[in-house]
Homo-oligomer: A and B are copies of this chain.
Amino acid sequence: MKKISLNDIAKQLGVSKTLVSLVLNGKAKQHRISHEVCNKVTELAKELNYKPNQIAKGLRTGKTNTIGLIIADIANPFFGKLGREIEKEAANHGYRVIFCSSDENPANSQKQIEMLQQGQVDGFIIAPPAGSENQILSLKRNRTPFVLIDRNFPDIDTNYIVVDNIQAAFDATSHLINKGYKKIACITLNVHLNNMNQRVLGYKQALIENNIPVDEELIKMMPFTHEKDDIVEAVKQLEPGNKAKVEAVFFATSKLGIMGIETLHSLGLHIPDDIAVVSFDDPDAYKISQPPVSAIAQPLQEIGQESVKVLLDLMNDNQSETKKIVLKAKFIPRRSSGA
Contact = CB atoms under 8 A, between A and B. Distances in A.
A48 interface: no
A103 to B, nearest CB: 10
Interface string A114-151: 11111110000000000000000000011100000000
A53 interface: yes
A194 interface: no
Interface residues of A, number: 52
B117 A51 contact: yes
A55 B59 contact: yes
Contact of A290 (B74, B75, B143, B290): B290
A213 interface: no
Contact of A1 (B53, B80, B143, B258): B143
A156 interface: no
Interface string A274-302: 00000000011101111110000000000
Contacts of A118: 51-54
Given A1-B143, A54-B119, A96-B115, 15 more contacts: A51-B114, A51-B118, A55-B120, A59-B59, A66-B98, A73-B84, A83-B99, A87-B100, A87-B101, A96-B116, A98-B98, A262-B288, A265-B288, A265-B292, A284-B285
Interface in A76-97: 76-77, 80-81, 83-84, 87-88, 96-97
